[in-house]
Amino acid sequence: MRILLVEDEAALRETLAARLKREGFAVDAAADGEDGLFLGREMPFDVGIIDLGLPKMPGIELIKKLREEGKTFPILILTARSSWQDKVEGLKVGADDFLVKPFHVEELMARINALMRRAAGWSRPILECGPVALDTTAQTVTLGGQIVELTSYEYKVLEYLMLHAGELVSKTDLTEHIYQQDFDRDSNVLEVFIGRLRKKLDPEASLKPIETVRGRGYRFAIPRNS
């Protein structure tokens, strides 16, 4: 999942970015509002973490502009100002959640996961499609109740596909959302992951969880459990 992080305090920004990357996110960071807007336009993001007190363009304005330009990814506001006036204003211009500094990073992670889930239409932390269940908080996958061992990248690919279960996900989408900017993108690697996922999730080739749409991308074919 790709995160847009806009925070002017260098120490905090670097600490957060490092932690988010460790958690498996692809992170693009900016130190001011203008940079943040530029990044927001250039890349597709799954979630944004935006500080309110930014130089060059205040956070509120940045959020407003992103929304005006049709960016619908969920945004979490990070700020030292905890007054209700700021909270309400931030949520009014289009943010989805609000976290007051200082905060526990665990809290931040939980909120971000919740935001991404909700944005994809899942109202609970466990994504279930047929016998396949992916727990976004525990970061585990079970097949009919049995845990399936996945590497972190395999997990990320599966998570992205299941979040968008039923929707077409292009290869570019997958690579952009899974990989850090400075990684080499090699779409063959993606096919390898998909192949391995198929083997692990569907050993008897009966379930066919992941469908290849020739020339366009992939789709997680098992519908969501209601």
Partner 1 sequence: MGRPDPQTRTAPRPSEVSARRPWSLQARSLVASIIFLAAFLGITFLALDRAFYQSSVAQLEERLKAYALAFFAGSDLNVRGQLILPDAMPDARFIRPGSGLYAGVVGRDFYWESPSSMGRELPFELKLERGAERFVGPIDSNVGGVYVYSYGVSWADRRGEAQNYTFHIAEHEEALDAQRAVFQRTLGTRLLMMGVALLALQLLVLRWSLTPLRKVEQDLARVERGQSDHLPRHYPRELEGLTTSLNDFIESERERRERQRNVLGDLAHSLKTPLAVIRGEIESADSGATSVRQTIEGQVRRMEAIVEHQLTRAVTSGHQPFASAVDVERPAAEIVTSLEKLHAERNILCEFELDPQARFYGETGDLMEVLGNLLENAFKWARHSVWLTTRRVTGPGSRRPGLEIVVEDDGTGINADQIDQVLKRGVRGDERVPGHGIGLSIVQDIVRAHRGTLTVDRSAELGGARFRVRFEPH
Judged by the rule CB under 8 A, the positions of this chain that interact with partner 1 are 9, 11-12, 15-16, 18-19, 53, 80-85, 87-88, 91-92, 96-98, 101-105, 114, 118, 123-124
Minimum gap (Å) between residue 93 Cβ and partner 1: 11
Is 67 or 198 the residue whose CB approaches partner 1 more closely?
A: 67
Of 179, 170, 109, the closest CA to residue 139 belongs to 109
Is 52 or 161 the residue whose CB approaches partner 1 more closely?
A: 52
Minimum gap (Å) between residue 156 Cβ and partner 1: 22
Minimum gap (Å) between residue 224 Cβ and partner 1: 16
Is 125 or 131 the residue whose CB approaches partner 1 more closely?
A: 125
Buried b (16+ CB within 10 A) or exposed e, 160-174: bbbbbbeeebebebb
Tokens at 72, concatenated = 């619908």
Contact 24, 113 (CB under 8 A): no
Is 102 or 215 the residue whose CB approaches partner 1 more closely?
A: 102
Is 16 or 158 the residue whose CB approaches partner 1 more closely?
A: 16
Edge-to-edge strand ranges of the sheet holding 97-100: 26-30, 2-6, 47-51, 75-79, 97-100
Tokens 């570019």 belong to 172
Minimum gap (Å) between residue 77 Cβ and partner 1: 11
Minimum gap (Å) between residue 1 Cβ and partner 1: 19
DSSP per position, 145-197: TEEE---HHHHHHHHHHHHTTTSEE-HHHHHHHHS-TTSPP-HHHHHHHHHHH
